[in-house]
Amino acid sequence: EAQVTQNPRYLITVTGKKLTVTCSQNMNHEYMSWYRQDPGLGLRQIYYSMNVEVTDKGDVPEGYKVSRKEKRNFPLILESPSPNQTSLYFCASRLTGAGYNSPLHFGNGTRLTVT
Amino acid sequence: QKEVEQDPGPLSVPEGAIVSLNCTYSNSAFQYFMWYRQYSRKGPELLMYTYSSGNKEDGRFTAQVDKSSKYISLFIRDSQPSDSATYLCAMSANRGSTLGRLYFGRGTQLTVWP
């Protein structure tokens, strides 16, 4: 089954404790992206990657790191999490070069709470 | 001012009603417009997309873009309880093959009651 898999689905952590949220897709998509979704603010793009070893900042990259060493994986790293990073996180991927009828495929989200 | 503005609702309508969802935007360079649907506890899924101005119809759904007014709409005819979800508009200034920055509205929460 074609899918984007995020882990973990739920995570509670404390301020300053480094964490990684994994994202993997099995569709051979070049493009991958991370979003956070907050009440009243909607979906905001954190980082995106057009292909392996190519990453760029979205709207809200501060406090996050990403890497794209393999095509299928795009982990999101919080080196020193803070309470304002408490949010619902989505990873997404799509084929490039196929126009906008190639949709973004989203994972089911990771709910992160930083205390 | 946010790049994309969308009334979050909530919107509650009876089954069979015509629903109108709207977004406005400020960046005149946006030329690709999308609507996503998000069910509770799920990631968004693409519903419709349009390029530049005009209308596009897909079954009970019609997407409209008015670039002169920087205004986009999604109409749902004969709404069903299964349409109950959050609807997000999204737009980009990039060409499809180089999609990078994608800007989402806040989403409108829709409930269709039987």
Give the distance from residue A15's alpha carbon to the nearest chain B alpha carbon, in angstroms: 25
Test mutation, A104, A108, A111, chain B, max B CBs within 10 A: A104
- Concatenate the DSSP letters of all residues of chain B into one string: --SEEE----EEEETT--EEEEEEE--TT--EEEEEEE-TTS--EEEEEEESSEEEEETTEEEEEETTTTEEEEEESS--GGG-EEEEEEEESS-GGG----EE---EEEEEE-
Q: What is the pLDDT of residues A56-114, one digit of tens each?
A: 998 899 999 999 999 999 999 999 999 999 999 999 998 876 555 577 899 999 999 99
Distance CA A9, CA A85 (A): 15
pLDDT of residue B97: 45
Q: Which two tokens stand for residue B39?
A: 């069910």
pLDDT of residue B95: 56
pLDDT of residue B98: 45
- Mean predicted confidence (pLDDT) in B76-80: 97
Give the distance from residue A82's alpha carbon to the nearest chain B alpha carbon, in angstroms: 23
B44:A109 CB<8 A:
no
Q: What is the pLDDT of residues B12-24, one digit of tens each?
A: 999 999 999 999 9
Size of interface A-B (CB pairs under 8 A): 68
Decide if pLDDT at A8 tops 60: yes
A108:B107 CB<8 A:
no
Q: What is the pLDDT of residues B24-60, one digit of tens each?
A: 999 888 888 999 999 988 999 999 988 878 889 999 9
Give the distance from residue B99's alpha carbon to the nearest chain A alpha carbon, in angstroms: 7
| Kind plus residue range of the DSSP H or E element containing A89 | strand A87-94
Chain A residue with minimum CA distance to B37: A106
CB atoms near residue A102 (< 10 Å): 18
pLDDT of residue B6: 93
Using an 8 Å CB-CB cutoff, list chain B residues near A31: 99
